[in-house]
Structure 1
Amino acid sequence: MTLHLLKLCVGAESPEDLEGHVRHRLAASGETRYWHVTRMVPKRAEALTAGGSLYWIIRGAVQARQAIVGIEPFTDEEGIGRCRIRLDPSVVRTRHQPRRPFQGWRYLDVGDAPPDLSRSSDGEADLPPELSVALQELGVF
């Protein structure tokens, strides 16, 4: 059974900021792999790596996700246990889904995840984010 993670995207003002951060980290490190380091190791790693994604909360709403490629526990230089959540570097935009802030990460069931924005016939992905959110609130999307 697939499961997702939900996490605050600290420092990003938009999905474009997140995309820029990913590009910068990959270019600076020379790596082709991208990861997010967290203190705790998810206990349900098998479900997360079976098609799960890390959904990013940006400015009070889920706005983007990255596919989870792997979970790698490790010990840092100070002897503290940590976890690398390996992510696909592609950032996929999602419909806005308001969320309150919290510390750490939370599991997110597949049925509770916001849908991806796609270039479908409704044209939602082509709209400015503020207009898309307003139309969602009115029930148009």
Structure 2
Amino acid sequence: MPLHLIKLSVGTESPETLRQWQAYFGGLHGRIYHTTRMTPKRKAEILDGGSIYWVIKGAIRARQRVVDLEEFIDEEGIKHCRIVLDPELVETRTWPHRAFQGWRYLTEDKSPPDEKQAGGAETLPEDMADELRELGLI
């Protein structure tokens, strides 16, 4: 069973704005990655089909498959990790989540299903679906 990561997407308003930012970033760098200070120790489990789940505006809303974890040392001698991502951003069922710093591990049983599997809510406007979820109606 793959192990996932979860990370805040600071400043992102929706999966679409994350998609736009990554298209711009990928155009500049030739690939999409997120740089972190700490390197996940459970690399083999993550690279065995794991994804990074993005928390956007207080909820998990999207995920991307993790392609590689690359350690490097910057020009100041500080170690970092590039989380290299598949360009496909998959929207998930909106799953409320509190803010936190850095990244965290996320197990398969604690991760939300992809929106295509969620059933019904994908046809509603995002703000309406969020409000109905908060009320416990969907």
TM normalised by structure 1 equals 0.90
DSSP-derived class of the 1:136 partner: helix
CA distance in 1, matches of 2:116, 2:2: 21
DSSP-derived class of the 1:115 partner: coil
Does structure 1 residue 118 correspond to structure 2 residue 116? Answer: yes
Does structure 1 residue 65 correspond to structure 2 residue 82? Answer: no
Q: State the Cα deviation string for residues 41-99 of structure 1 (Å, max 9, x = none).
A: 00001111111100000011111111101111111111100001110011111111111
Quote the RMSD (CA, aligned, Å): 1.6
1:118–1:124: 8 Å Cα contact kept in structure 2? no
CA distance in 2, matches of 1:119, 1:113: 13
CA distance in 2, matches of 1:75, 1:7: 22
Structure 2 counterpart of 1:93: 91
How far 1:138 moved relative to its partner? 4.9
Gapped runs of 5+ residues in structure 1?
Answer: none
4+ residue runs over 3 A deviation: 134-141
The counterpart of 1:81, out of the listed 79, 82, 87, is 79
Structure 1 counterpart of 2:127: 130
How far 1:130 moved relative to its partner? 2.0
Structure 1 counterpart of 2:4: 4
**Cα–Cα, structure 1 residues 119 and 102, in superposed 2: closer, same or farther, change >3 Å?**
closer
**Cα–Cα, structure 1 residues 95 and 24, in superposed 2: closer, same or farther, change >3 Å?**
same
Gapped runs of 5+ residues in structure 2?
Answer: none
CA distance in 2, matches of 1:116, 1:136: 16
Listed as ranges, the matches of 1:11-90 within 5 Å are 11-29=11-29, 31=30, 33-90=31-88
CA distance in 2, matches of 1:76, 1:106: 23
CA distance in 2, matches of 1:116, 1:64: 8
How far 1:133 moved relative to its partner? 2.4
CA distance in 2, matches of 1:90, 1:65: 9
Percent sequence identity over aligned pairs: 49
Listed as ranges, the matches of 1:94-109 within 5 Å are 94-109=92-107
